[in-house]
Structure 1
């Protein structure tokens, strides 16, 4: 009987710890979203202009300057320079920005290459098949990259 009470207490303690951990993680995520780009000149999508070239190359078949692998390499370098906790937020801005053709960052509709396929590809830039960069989720994925969260 004493062993059963001990197991029950331990399970309750583990449940409490898990709930507390998830509350702290959610609070940390909310706090970092607001401070990732404060005081920055321009918008967060300006942080990864090479990713625009790479996305257009991969989804539209556009040529880029230099060897084809350089567009990916440059994009990954720029994403890697963004703090881990801010990478998904930067991609959200990059995907959702309603930019003009003369602006450096963001995705735009192009002749023969609408924005939607570009967005679909840009969502996976941090994944293992692309840049393989850890994010706020401590893994190479951005969760919840649906349209309702685009800025």
Structure 2
């Protein structure tokens, strides 16, 4: 339902931009947040996605404007940020970083999950997928040894 509503809003915004004579551009950034239960730096059957994890995405547009987005993961551990704007204002570079995990057990940020910078060079209508952010428990369960 949320995805359908977001897509409808993007379509309407795109139509409004086209009606005004401005070429519209739509971008999307998505990624996952996972709990690495055994802290072994690999995603396996013992691991699970984190619903409700908070992620911040900061993008700089071609014109130099800084846009700050906040997203939360869904039941599949996926977060999405999307925007429709004039082509001349499209994203140029972005930084995605995890903010918090609301899972009681999995609260420590894993190595390499501090944040990711990337250039956004996708054409309109395409998404950029960020590698998963990983949290791990404060203490590793005994069955992991």
With normalisation by structure 2, the TM-score equals: 0.26
Higher relative contact order (CA 8 A, sep 6+): 2
Higher strand share: 2
With normalisation by structure 1, the TM-score equals: 0.26
Larger Rg: 1
